[in-house]
């Protein structure tokens, strides 16, 4: 999980920005009133830190260690659960992992120290003495059961003899373990470390470390029960005496990228799901133990589970478990002679997240939206909207589009996601209100492309212009309201006009989106005349322009004074109901609509 920099000063934000570029997906949070240019702002430090800690977020506090300690102390549980918490001086002079050292905290501190050319104040005895922690091994290794780690580590620190049993292929480097001033016995001792891909019963005297050398290939019928696939895999692992902790990735044909059972299997094993095209899998045919003409006729390759396992393991991998058939699924396992880097195997399933970033200011952007942008590899959107993200776009591949070109924009985002990328499609306001989310689903439905229909598509809400305008002026949405777009590019004007008439008769507070354009100047005037037939001439009207941006301007005026020339393409117009009122507070005109209506007030 990407770290979150929590900053209390502008100096801290500057330092965090410098470091965040080195950590994909990192997000900078800043204290309101004392910082600027952060991705997310917060009002109170301790509650904010506690919320991040509760949600298992790695925290880098660019502040005094005492602040972090006071915030998370009531929430601390065990080192197996607590997320990394680091204290970083805002002048970059020192970094201290306070918690979660063996959940990535020590590694994170060492990475920061290397960037800043300082020493990491790591206090964990094993890391300080040997440069490694048995319960937090390097990438490509997993510990079976951490119960014995404390005893074995203590023995190493005391200079006692510990046995090392190495059952890994010769191509796997053990420099991280052996070249750190530790001498191991080559025969079993009272306390031992065992390196193996096999299933071994853990005990209090042995640390079992499993190398990620297994590629698990699966195939299945559409809609297979996830429990059936998981049970089949467990049976095959047990039959071969292999540990699930040695599995580097779950692999399959790209046609199964959206299969719930396959996704569930990868999640249950805590490994990535990697996909291959039929053409790639067909290249593995000479190495298959059970090639099938039927499978070739069905999906375009002579095997799925075996071919996927071998493709995931690499050119030197060998099948250690040939295809095993279940009722509706198949499973095979290949073993590589070296650690498998799952991220370099095949491609990921790909995901498209449609994100509403709010009206413009980062203060109005939901943390979920910020996190989704930070997670993305590719950003697609109107250039101005991408610019509003500021430094959050650093390290991302930008795909800028001019105003308009919405269909092209969405199609490009879908295509990128279908290539296995993590794509964010950016909208202002809320992505589901007169924005890109609807067009995404419309194109997927209309084009009926299999690769698009297999994608994981998520929508992240944002603050709409409607909400922002209401908040800036008071509470005009205190009773029933509706929105109407005056753009007739995609909707006949006769339909729009009938909706305005119906909403005016229904006495709704009405927000008018797309009120004018360079060529379309008469629709707003028509809407005004319709509304004047149904509500008082003094009904409050709000004209909100460039909300959340430096050029923001919000005016309140009576309906009778509304003129087309007051409005442009960047404006939203909100007309109150017959009950909407204005009140002067601190010399400013505020607008509200009572919750009660008529005689019910």
DSSP assignment of 211-269: ES-EEEEEEE-TT--HHHHHHHHHHHHHHHTB-GGGEEEEEEEGGGTT-HHHHHHHHHH
| 148, pLDDT greater than 70 | yes
In angstroms, the Cα distances linking 69 to 12, 48, 65, 234, 394 are 18, 13, 6, 42, 31
Q: What is the tens place of the pLDDT at every residue in 288-333? A: 999 999 999 999 999 999 999 999 999 999 999 999 999 999 999 9
Q: What angle do CA 363, 389, 23 make, to 5 degrees?
A: 100
Sheet with 329-335, side-by-side order of all strands: 273-276, 247-253, 214-220, 329-335, 318-325
* Mean pLDDT of all residues belonging to the chain: 92
- Answer yes or no: CATH 3.40.50.720 is held by domain 4-123: no
Predicted confidence at residue 130, as pLDDT, reads 64
Contacts of 521 (CB under 8 A, 6+ apart): 564
Q: Where are the domains of the chain?
A: 4-123, 141-211, 214-344, 351-463, 466-600
Predicted confidence at residue 127, as pLDDT, reads 66
| 601, pLDDT greater than 70 | no
Percent of the chain with pLDDT over 90: 72
Please check whether residue 330 is in contact with residue 292, taking contact to mean a CB–CB distance below 8 angstroms: no
CATH class, 466-600 region: alpha beta
DSSP 140: T
Predicted confidence at residue 341, as pLDDT, reads 95
Q: What mean pLDDT do residues 205-233 have?
A: 95
| CATH topology assigned to domain 351-463 | Cobalt-precorrin-4 Transmethylase; domain 1 (3.40.1010)
Please check whether residue 151 is in contact with residue 204, taking contact to mean a CB–CB distance below 8 angstroms: yes
Instruction: Identify the residue whose tokens are 């229904």.
Output: 506
Q: Do domains 4-123 and 351-463 have the same CATH topology?
A: no
Sheet with 27-31, side-by-side order of all strands: 40-42, 27-31, 4-7, 59-62, 85-88, 95-99
Q: Mark 260-289 as b/e (b = at least 16 C-beta within 10 Å).
A: ebbbbbbeebebbbbbbebebbbebeebbe
Predicted confidence at residue 557, as pLDDT, reads 96
Cα separation, 430 vs 434, in Å, equals 8
Show the tokens assigned to 216.
Answer: 């698990």
CATH of domain 214-344: 3.30.420.180
Q: Which of 78-92, 467-481, 541-555 has the highest mean pLDDT?
A: 467-481
Instruction: Supply the pTM of this predicted model.
Output: 0.83
Instruction: Identify the residue whose tokens are 């250690």.
Output: 320
Please give the residue that has the higher pLDDT: either 438 or 391.
438
């Amino acid at each position: 999980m990407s770290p979150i920099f929590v900053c209390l000063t502008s100096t801290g934000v500057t330092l965090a920005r410098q470091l965040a570029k080195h950590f994909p997906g990192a997000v900078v949070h800043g204290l309101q009133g004392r910082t600027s240019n952060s991705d997310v702002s917060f009002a109170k430090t301790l509650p904010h830190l506690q919320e991040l800690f509760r949600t298992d977020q790695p925290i880098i506090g660019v502040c005094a260690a005492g602040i972090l300690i006071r915030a998370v102390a009531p929430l601390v549980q065990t080192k197996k659960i607590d997320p990394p918490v680091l204290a970083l001086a805002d002048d970059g002079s020192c970094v201290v992992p306070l918690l979660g050292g063996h959940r990535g905290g020590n590694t994170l501190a060492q990475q920061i120290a290397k960037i800043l050319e300082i020493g990491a104040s790591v206090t964990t005895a094993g890391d300080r003495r040997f440069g490694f922690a048995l319960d937090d091994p390097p990438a490509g290794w997993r510990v079976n059961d951490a119960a014995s780690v404390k005893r074995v580590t203590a023995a190493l620190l005391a200079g006692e003899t510990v046995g090392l049993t190495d059952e890994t292929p010769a191509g796997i480097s053990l420099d991280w373990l052996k070249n750190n001033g530790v001498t191991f016995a080559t025969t079993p001792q009272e306390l031992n470390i065992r390196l193996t891909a096999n299933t071994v019963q853990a005990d209090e005297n042995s640390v079992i470390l499993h190398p990620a050398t297994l590629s698990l290939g699966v195939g299945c019928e559409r809609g297979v029960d996830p429990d059936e696939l998981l049970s089949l895999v467990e049976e095959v692992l047990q039959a071969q005496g292999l540990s699930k902790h040695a599995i580097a990735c779950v692999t399959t044909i790209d046609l199964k990228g959206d299969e719930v059972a396959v996704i569930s299997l990868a999640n249950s094993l805590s490994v990535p799901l990697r996909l291959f095209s039929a053409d790639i899998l067909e290249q593995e045919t000479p190495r298959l133990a059970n090639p099938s003409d039927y499978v070739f006729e069905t999906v375009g390759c002579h095997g799925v589970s075996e071919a996927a396992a071998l493709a995931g393991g690499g050119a030197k991998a060998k099948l250690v478990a040939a295809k095993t058939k279940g009722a509706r699924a198949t499973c095979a396992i290949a073993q590589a002679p070296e650690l498998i880097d799952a991220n370099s195997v095949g491609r990921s399933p790909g995901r498209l997240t449609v994100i509403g970033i709010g009206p413009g200011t980062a203060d109005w952007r939901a943390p979920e939206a910020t996190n989704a942008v930070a997670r993305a590899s590719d950003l697609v959107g109107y250039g101005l909207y991408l610019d509003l993200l500021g430094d959050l776009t650093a390290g991302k591949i930008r795909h800028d589009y001019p105003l308009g070109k919405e269909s092209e924009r969405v199609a490009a985002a879908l295509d990128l996601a279908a290539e296995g990328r993590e794509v964010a499609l950016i909208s202002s306001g809320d992505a589901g209100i007169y924005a890109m989310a609807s067009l995404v689903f419309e194109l997927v439905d209309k084009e009926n492309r299999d690769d698009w229909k297999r994608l994981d598509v998520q929508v992240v809400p944002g603050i709409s212009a409607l909400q922002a305008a209401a908040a800036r002026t008071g509470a005009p949405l205190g009773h029933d309201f509706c929105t109407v777009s005056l753009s007739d590019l995609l909707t006949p004007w006769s339909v729009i006009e009938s909706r305005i008439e119906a909403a005016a008769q229904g006495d709704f507070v009405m927000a008018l989106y797309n009120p004018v354009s360079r060529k379309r100047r008469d629709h707003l005037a028509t809407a005004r005349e319709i509304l004047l037939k149904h509500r008082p001439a003094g009904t409050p009207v709000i004209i909100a322009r460039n909300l959340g941006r430096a050029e923001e301007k919000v005016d309140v005026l009576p309906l009778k004074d509304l003129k087309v020339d007051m409005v442009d393409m960047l404006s939203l117009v909100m007309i109150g109901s017959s009950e909407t009122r204005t009140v002067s507070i601190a010399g400013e005109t505020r607008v509200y609509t009572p919750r009660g209506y008529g005689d019910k007030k």
